[in-house]
Chains A and B, each alone.
Chain A
Amino acid sequence: MSAFIRYLRSFWRHLNGDATYERYLRHWHERHAEQLQPLSRKAFFAAETQRKWNGVKRCC
């Protein structure tokens, strides 16, 4: 049961965007650990917001 709740929580966090930074960190450690430092939480979100709104994201 608790595994299911954990799953739901993680699903919800992915859906609303709260989990984006953790996902980025995981990806960074897997792929880019040779670089100096991952982006800070703040810098990551600043860049992410900029990137996200660089195209058609919302419809009529």
Chain B
Amino acid sequence: MSGTNKQLPSIFFWACVALTGAFSLGGIALQRGESINSMWLIVAAICIYALGYRFYSAFVASKVLMLDASRATPAERFDDGRDFMPTHKWVVFGHHFAAIAGPGPLIGPTLAAQFGYLPGTLWILIGAVLGGCVQDFVTLFFSIRRDGRSLGQMAKDELGAIGGTAAMIGVMMIMVILIAVLGLVVVNAMKHSPWATSTVAATIPIAVLMGCYLHHLRPGRVLEATLIGVSLLIFAVLGGGWIDNSPTIRSWFDYDAPQLALMVILYGFAAAVLPVWLLLAPRDYLSTFMKLGTITALAIAIVVLRPELKMPALTQFIDGTGPIFGGKLFPFVFITIACGAISGFHALISSGTTPKLLANEQDARFIGYGAMIMESFVAIMAMIAASVLEPGVYFAINSPAGIVGKEAVDAVAKISAWGFPVGVEQMQTLAKTMGESTLFARTGGAPSLAVGMASLFAQVFGEHLLAAWYHFAIMFEALFILTTLDAGTRVARFMLQDMLGNIGLAKTNSYPSILVTSGLVVGAWGYFLYMGTIDPLGGINSLWPLFGIANQMLAAIALCVATTILVKSDKLKYVWVTAVPLAWLIIVTSTAAWEKLFATDLRVGFLSHAADLSAKLANGALPAEQIKSAPHLIFNDYLNAGLTSLFMLITWLLLADTLRVIYCILAGKNYPQSSESAHMPSRLVEKWVRD
């Protein structure tokens, strides 16, 4: 009886959280007509995350995975002072969060805001609590129980060679598409913007300077080097304004999109073959500090200002006619928002790096489930930053010229006709305040997010600095997009070298091999990036869904592995914990892939677009400037269609393999035995403090 009495305050507290959450969510969902305050979103999100963490993750931890505090982790057993190292759980949390949170959760929600803020917000919240957080958590846990092995290795051990190979190819392809689409986002932010271009260019010498400082002058003094780097970056942002005002110097940094794409490709190649300490490592320190600082500042700005959301809850574009990317609400909102709801890429971080640091298995809940909640919250903030813009402005920035027309007058007329009033003068004034010549057709999410962030920051920290804040936001996004680009190119290169090495084609460490494999990887993503810049529909229209499909495919692979392991560990009755998100992902990716292949809408179906363009080319119905690029675009459509089919093939192959293994387990036939390491009692457990 006394036990119940003690629990009463706790029950009351969580009932209040649940009620507040339900009330806020109801408020958001039922709001019609008038604009709604962003605090509703924040409150709903915090309540849902709190409930998910307190109850669902506790259920998964104790009933499904049965975390065992007395069991020694790989960090304790193999403690080598470097790779494997028992580390304080908050330090691991910081490192894990810094590793998983990239530009994805900022860009995806910004693009998905074309459907209105409601669908994206609901998917971010529900997808994270029941899908993404669970995926990160179970992958982390299973990797801990398997000496910190990688996802590919676990797929091979638990499913067999087919699963392992499929996972490996999947990872390489997602890398290529990811880098191309992120490169395109940066290019669209920099085109004909000397301020943005010069600031982003300045990050390269700043990183090199930091690299030399960290490598030669004061080895390993990370904080000192980062402080120097950050101050120089701020100078670079302000200096960019000065460059923008000087007619001569300005012209040195004024390029169109294809030119910038070529520069990014050259840069990517250089970064891949240069030593890591010179460029990649210092840039990563910069981008990590900037990322955490800026995200915190954004959270403070939103909480202090409590801005009104001007975007409607739903727009007419749920019917598939959206200007930023074509396709109906289902399945495309679930593809567009990958990071922030469920991102397969996280499974690569949750297996491999992080599991080697945990001092106790019980920390896996806080780090795996908890860090993903944080990332999901970043996605909610991005959704807010996109929705505080006037919808007309949002669409003017994000709609490609191929949809709304090249001339400002045509664009505003078309966007206003959709019911989102915007004027030429309004856009000119906005561009001028942001220190840009134009903000039209800057598709990709970064510039509209930067306008949203700049107006929030400027209200809190000083109105007269709007242009500087805008370019600060652009620089901040470009900084960690370029880090992902460097790091991704390297990883893809290692994988390619491994694959070629396995068939006896390349020696891993010879310099010619590094040059050739780097060239192949850079060439692969560079091709998609360049094609994206000459595509009149904006490139994002075809590349972002492709990236979403690839990312969700990777999540499906991770969930296939997790589901198999659950069945092997006699947890059949709880298998829905991973099987339901898996089934949902299979439905979503398959529907999206099917539509990307066969839809008759020219902006959705790759094949119908190719057929239409070929017919027009043959009839001479194309305008002169498009005749030259048409054959490339047609080829690109077929290539994209091929890639989409390959993604689907991999997903279904892996699913079939998973079902085969599960059938063998249940039918008592031969199957690959669980590769879980033997139980060893922990000696650290006495020192470990429970939260």
Contacts from B to A (Cβ < 8 Å): 79-83, 85, 87-88, 90-91, 94-95, 99-104, 150, 171, 178, 182, 214-216, 219-223, 226, 276-277, 280-281, 284-285, 289, 338-339, 343, 345-346, 348-349, 352-353, 483-484, 487-488, 490-491, 494, 551
A6 at the interface (CB under 8 A from B): no
Q: Are A59 and B343 in contact (CB under 8 A)?
A: yes
Q: Are B281 and A60 in contact (CB under 8 A)?
A: no
- With contacts A11-B88, A57-B99 known, is A16 near B222, CB below 8 A? yes
- Shortest CB–CB separation between residue A25 and chain B, in angstroms? 9
A31, B78: Cα distance in complex, Å: 12
- Shortest CB–CB separation between residue B594 and chain A, in angstroms? 24
Q: List 26 A-B contacts (CB under 8 A).
A: A16-B223, A18-B220, A20-B220, A27-B80, A27-B85, A41-B220, A42-B219, A45-B215, A45-B220, A46-B219, A49-B281, A50-B277, A53-B487, A53-B490, A55-B491, A55-B494, A56-B171, A56-B348, A58-B102, A58-B487, A59-B99, A59-B100, A59-B349, A59-B484, A60-B339, A60-B345
> Which residue, A13, A18, A50, A60, has most C-beta atoms of chain B within 10 A?
A60
- Shortest CB–CB separation between residue A17 and chain B, in angstroms? 4
- Shortest CB–CB separation between residue A53 and chain B, in angstroms? 4
A24, B82: Cα distance in complex, Å: 7
Digit string of A1-41 for contact with B (CB within 8 Å is 1, else 0)?
00000000001011111101101100110010000000001
- Shortest CB–CB separation between residue A33 and chain B, in angstroms? 13
- Shortest CB–CB separation between residue A28 and chain B, in angstroms? 7
Q: Are B281 and A52 in contact (CB under 8 A)?
A: yes
Q: Are B220 and A59 in contact (CB under 8 A)?
A: no
A21, B218: Cα distance in complex, Å: 12
Chain B residue numbers with a CB within 8 Å of A54 are: 494
Chain B residue numbers with a CB within 8 Å of A27 are: 79-81, 85
Q: Are B82 and A51 in contact (CB under 8 A)?
A: yes
- Shortest CB–CB separation between residue A54 and chain B, in angstroms? 7
Chain A residue numbers with a CB within 8 Å of B484 are: 58-60
> Which residue, A20, A23, A49, has most C-beta atoms of chain B within 10 A?
A49
Interface residues contributed by chain A, number (CB under 8 Å): 32
- Shortest CB–CB separation between residue B88 and chain A, in angstroms? 7
**Contacts A14-B87, A27-B85, A49-B215 supplied; 18 other A-B pairs, CB < 8 Å:** A11-B90, A11-B91, A14-B91, A23-B85, A27-B79, A41-B220, A44-B219, A49-B277, A49-B281, A52-B281, A56-B353, A57-B99, A59-B339, A59-B345, A59-B348, A60-B104, A60-B484, A60-B551
Q: Are B215 and A56 in contact (CB under 8 A)?
A: no
Q: Are A44 and B494 in contact (CB under 8 A)?
A: no
Chain A residue numbers with a CB within 8 Å of B219 are: 41-42, 44-46
CB-nearest residue of chain B relative to A24?
A: B81
Chain A residue numbers with a CB within 8 Å of B79 are: 27
Q: Which of A23, A48, A52, A60 contacts B182 (CB 8 A)?
A: A60
A48, B83: Cα distance in complex, Å: 10
Chain A residue numbers with a CB within 8 Å of B353 are: 55-57
Chain B residue numbers with a CB within 8 Å of A45 are: 214-215, 219-220, 277
Chain A residue numbers with a CB within 8 Å of B490 are: 53
Minimum-distance CB pairs A-B, first 3: A27-B81, A60-B104, A45-B220
- Shortest CB–CB separation between residue A47 and chain B, in angstroms? 9
Q: Are B104 and A59 in contact (CB under 8 A)?
A: yes
Q: Are B491 and A59 in contact (CB under 8 A)?
A: no
A27, B219: Cα distance in complex, Å: 19
Q: Are B222 and A55 in contact (CB under 8 A)?
A: no
- Shortest CB–CB separation between residue A41 and chain B, in angstroms? 5
Q: Are A58 and B222 in contact (CB under 8 A)?
A: no
